[in-house]
């Protein structure tokens, strides 16, 4: 026990200690708020830090372009490619100030892969808040920031052009990454639903673009050549489904005059918003339907 007369001095000292603690605490709070604010601003350019667990679209700014892009990614069992793709493209588009929403079109039925039907379904599900689309392979990452993902008002814009794609160099190639306004996609009646298994649907789409009287554009002035993209695909590990039944062989070079966006048949099993390393995307589980009397090659026999 202290003598009674010493108590006021002690109380005074204790009070002083508390107020220094309070000041230090406040200082810490202010400093962490400043740090958080600074890292959030930096993250608008390179999203990966403490602000990245945001709801879809939250990081985009209203001052960005008035248009909004739906990134349509046909997908099946490519998990490690997805883990790389979503954060990469979200950051790439953010640096270009392109407002966007990434839709992973996950084919969950037991039919053969149908890239074109997934894109048609993704187009229909992409919502009224997007006015243009890019069909985007999950294994192709743009590396050159000068590749323009802006609104392609004057016609389809083939980002993965044959002069830049590391592997595919024929003149009519429009696969990999292709941007279109929604109006132009509708003018083509989307893509044909008759292509099950790997390949040819993009070659047929080239003919639809021409048939609709649209002008195809490609990047110019890109100096990185075949190093413009990172191609993640390993064909030895992921074998492509290149089987062709006799009937399919006869069909594969034809243009489908009647079908496309108007007759794609699917149902959405689920819609899940996820973030991958802080980058938002929506996974649509899509169940495609096949009329086997029309395209018996949708199942492997």
* Selected range binding ligand BGC among 17-25, 43-51, 145-153, 198-206, rule: CB under 6 A: 198-206
**Residue that has been written with the tokens 């699917």 in this structure:** 266
- Alpha carbon 285 to its chain's center: 15
Under 8 Å between Cβ of 38 and 103: no
Residue 162 vs 296, nearer CB to ligand BGC: 162
Task: Give the largest CA-CA distance in the chain.
Answer: 107
Say whether residue 148 binds ligand BGC (CB under 6 A). Answer: no
Residue with nearest beta carbon to ligand BGC:
175
Of 171-190, binders to ligand BGC (CB under 6 A) are 175
In the complex, minimum distance from the CB of residue 178 to ligand BGC, in angstroms, rounded to a whole number: 11
The closest alpha carbon to 195, from 177, 182, 184, 208, belongs to 208
User: In the set 112, 158, 200, 208, which binds ligand BGC (CB under 6 A)?
Assistant: 200
- What are the structure tokens assigned to 181, written together? 């306004």
CB of 63 to ligand BGC, least distance (A): 37
**CA nearest 251: which of 259, 239, 262?**
259
User: What minimum distance in Å lies between the beta carbon of 170 and ligand BGC?
Assistant: 8
Q: Between β-strands 99-107 and 279-288, what pairing exists: parallel, antiparallel or unpaired?
A: parallel
In Å, how far from its chain's centre is CA 205? 20
For the four alpha carbons of 52, 58, 60 and 63, in that order, the dihedral sign comes to negative
Binding region for ligand BGC (CB under 6 A) out of 56-64, 72-80, 119-127, 196-204: 196-204
Contact between 64 and ligand BGC per CB under 6 A:
no
Q: Are 103 and 270 in contact (CB under 8 A)?
A: no
Interface residue with ligand BGC, options 139, 202, 251, 256 (CB under 6 A): 202
Counting contacts by CB under 6 A, is residue 199 touching ligand BGC? yes
Choose the stretch contacting ligand BGC; rule: CB under 6 A; options: 40-48, 128-136, 181-189, 200-208. Answer: 200-208
Binding interface with ligand BGC (CB under 6 A)? 168, 175, 199-200, 202-203
């Amino acid at each position: 026990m202290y003598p009674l007369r010493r108590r006021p001095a002690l109380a005074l000292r204790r009070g002083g200690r508390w107020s220094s603690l309070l000041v230090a605490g406040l200082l810490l709070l202010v400093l962490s708020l400043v740090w958080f604010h600074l890292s959030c601003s930096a993250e608008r350019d390179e999203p990966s830090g403490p602000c990245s667990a945001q709801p879809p679209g939250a990081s985009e700014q209203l001052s960005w372009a008035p248009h909004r892009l739906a990134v349509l990614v046909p997908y099946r069992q490519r998990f490690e490619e997805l883990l790389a793709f979503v954060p990469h493209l979200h950051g790439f588009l953010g640096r270009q100030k392109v407002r966007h929403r990434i839709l992973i079109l996950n084919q969950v039925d037991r039919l053969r892969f149908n890239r074109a039907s997934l894109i048609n379904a993704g187009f229909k599900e992409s919502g009224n808040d997007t006015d243009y689309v890019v069909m985007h392979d999950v294994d192709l990452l743009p590396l050159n920031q000068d590749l323009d993902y802006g609104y392609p008002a004057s016609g389809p814009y083939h980002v993965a052009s044959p002069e830049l794609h590391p592997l595919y160099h024929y003149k009519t190639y429009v696969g990999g990454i292709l941007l279109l306004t929604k109006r132009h996609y509708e003018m083509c009646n989307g893509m044909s639903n008759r292509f099950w298994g790997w390949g040819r649907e993009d070659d047929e789409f080239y003919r639809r673009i021409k048939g609709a009287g649209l002008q195809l554009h490609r990047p110019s002035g890109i100096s990185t050549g075949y190093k413009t993209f990172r191609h993640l695909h390993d064909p030895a590990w992921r074998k492509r489904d290149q089987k062709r039944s006799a009937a399919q062989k006869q069909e594969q070079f034809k243009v489908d005059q009647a079908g496309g966006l108007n007759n794609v048949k699917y149902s959405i099993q689920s819609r899940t918003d996820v973030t991958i390393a802080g980058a938002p995307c929506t996974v649509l589980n899509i169940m495609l339907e096949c009329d086997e009397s029309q395209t018996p090659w949708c199942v492997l026999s």
